[in-house]
Chain A
Amino acid sequence: MYEFDWTSIPGALPFLWQGMQVSLEITFVAVIFGIVWGTLLAIMRLSSFTVLSWFAAGYVNLFRAVPLVMVLLWFFLIVPHLLESLLGFPRGSDMRLGSAIAGFALFEAAYYSEIIRAGIQSVSKGQMAAASALGMRYGQVMRLVVLPQAFRNMVPLLLTQGIILFQDTSLVYVSALADFFGAAYKVGDRDGRLVEMLLFAGAVYFVICFAASQLVRHYQKKLRTA
């Protein structure tokens, strides 16, 4: 019978907290860049300029058809070399965090753009006509009338995607970057208590994600009654 031994956890908490900060940093930055870039992609996809809409469609389909972990590996392996040779970055500088954030942001933007595209299309055509009829230009119509309504409807979906992204940050272990999961793995491996550490890490992920999705549900209810 396996004997659980949780004693290595309290001492490891500061290190785990550092890892959690890395996970949260990747999540927040990738969500924000993902939404901004995703919005631009959605607008391109819906535009009447064929070149733009083909580019956006190609981008979205490419990123949705490859595994996330592969995109992350590309970024770890290729991007630092590119930056070194193109921009003269010093050889061997640690760009793992930057690469991870860039990989997540570009990958998630593809998913966000599909959510945002549906959100934009959920705003009635009449709203666009009314704004145009008042003399607003396309940019103003989108910024002042269509996007605020679209985002209001989309907030629950965007947050849910953010929760998924938070879970997916654990994939950065492929680069040995010490995010929360990576930190837990390292400590468990060092102390020979991998099972306990991974159970603990799983419990932490569960509590955070479950609490966050309850908040989203609460907000969704409020939105429906408003």
Chain B
Amino acid sequence: MISISQVSKHYGSFQVLTECSTAVKKGDVVVVCGPSGSGKSTLIKCVNGLEPFQQGEIVVNGISVGDPKTDLPKLRSHVGMVFQNFELFPHMTIADNLSIAQVKVLGRKPGEARERGMKLLDRVGLVAQAEKYPGQLSGGQQQRVAIARALSMDPICMLFDEPTSALDPEMVNEVLDVMVELAQEGMTMMCVTHEMGFARKVANRVIFMDLGRIVEDATKEDFFGKPHSERAQQFLSKILQH
């Protein structure tokens, strides 16, 4: 579904990604973790072309992301993405947030888009908030709406960029619950997160990044059981201490 091969990226002389390679198969849930500044968010943003890269190739569903001839908006329209800061559109109601791209990008009729939006809103337990504006919702609620908005486009896979790290601790679980459910339904997911509980529960594979390189790319059992690299061992011992 997603194949990343030998991807390198630099800002001027600063190397952000160095020869990253991995693959995500249909139905896989891959968790990407690592210390801040390790390039994990940059890597996931390269997958739908939000960040350009200079070397290597990323192929999503048979389409090369780096190819200048690729119609990126079209590719992105069926790759869902959820951001750290939710990024709901603050000048639109929740219902409009859910339907705007369906209407403007997919060409669905407004009534049909609204219905689909409501169904997804119900799924994340927020139908009652449909006519409110994003600013009136809590962070956890906003992120659930953001997930519903991405799902409204009927994506073939979902990218999550630290979806819970801007949330108050008591709201993390309501968002993770939605993500776990999604994973169990077989959605292909690539997820940058520090939530190791989530990784243990639903991930097939865990990728560990440091200084722009993929240091460890292992099954969940191997990663938590016996990580190869010293850097990953240190990282795990630090975040699992408490």
Contact = CB atoms under 8 A, between A and B. Distances in A.
B91 A149 contact: yes
A137 B72 CA distance: 9
A130 B83 contact: yes
A86 interface: no
Given A134-B149, A135-B77, A152 B91 contact: yes
A93 to B, nearest CB: 46
A132 B87 CA distance: 11
A82 interface: no
Contacts, number: 62
Contacts of B104: 136, 140, 144
Summarize A's interface: helix, strand, loop or mixed: helix
B94 to A, nearest CB: 14
Contacts of A126: 83, 85, 87
A6 to B, nearest CB: 51
A137 B104 CA distance: 10
Contacts of A145: 89
Q: Among B48, B50, B80, B89, find the residue whose CB has the most chain A CB atoms closer than 10 A.
A: B89
Contacts of B83: 126, 129-130, 133
B87 A135 contact: no
Contacts of A134: 76-77, 100-101, 105, 149-150, 153
B89 to A, nearest CB: 6
Interface in A62-104: none
Given A126-B83, A126-B85, A129-B50, A136 B105 contact: yes
B81 interface: yes
A144 B101 CA distance: 10
A148 interface: yes
A149 B91 CA distance: 7
A177 B234 CA distance: 80
B87 A127 contact: yes
B76 A149 contact: no
A127 B73 contact: no
Q: Among B78, B105, B150, find the residue whose CB has the most chain A CB atoms closer than 10 A.
A: B105
B74 interface: yes
B153 to A, nearest CB: 6
Nearest to A137: B73
A119 to B, nearest CB: 13
B87 A136 contact: no
B90 interface: yes
B90 A149 contact: yes
Nearest to A129: B50
Contacts of A135: 73-78, 101, 105-106, 153
Contacts of B85: 124, 126
Contact of B87 (A129, A140, A148, A152): A129
Contact of B50 (A133, A136, A152): A133
Interface string A177-211: 00000000000000000000000000000000000
Nearest to B51: A129
Interface string B52-86: 00000000000000000000011111111101010
Nearest to A143: B104
Interface string A115-147: 000000000101101111111110010001100
B125 to A, nearest CB: 22
B140 to A, nearest CB: 18
A148 B50 contact: no
Contacts of A149: 89-91
Q: Among A132, A134, A140, A152, find the residue whose CB has the most chain B CB atoms closer than 10 A.
A: A134
A145 B134 CA distance: 14
Contact of A144 (B90, B100, B149): B100
Interface string B102-118: 00111000000000000
Contacts of A148: 91
10 contacts: A124-B87, A127-B87, A133-B48, A133-B79, A133-B80, A133-B150, A135-B106, A136-B105, A140-B104, A149-B89
- Lowest 4 CB-CB distances: which A-B pairs, in order? A135-B77, A130-B87, A134-B101, A133-B81
Interface of B: 45, 48, 50, 73-81, 83, 85, 87-91, 100-101, 104-106, 149-150, 153
Given A135-B75, A149-B89, 7 more contacts: A132-B76, A133-B76, A133-B79, A133-B81, A134-B77, A135-B77, A140-B104
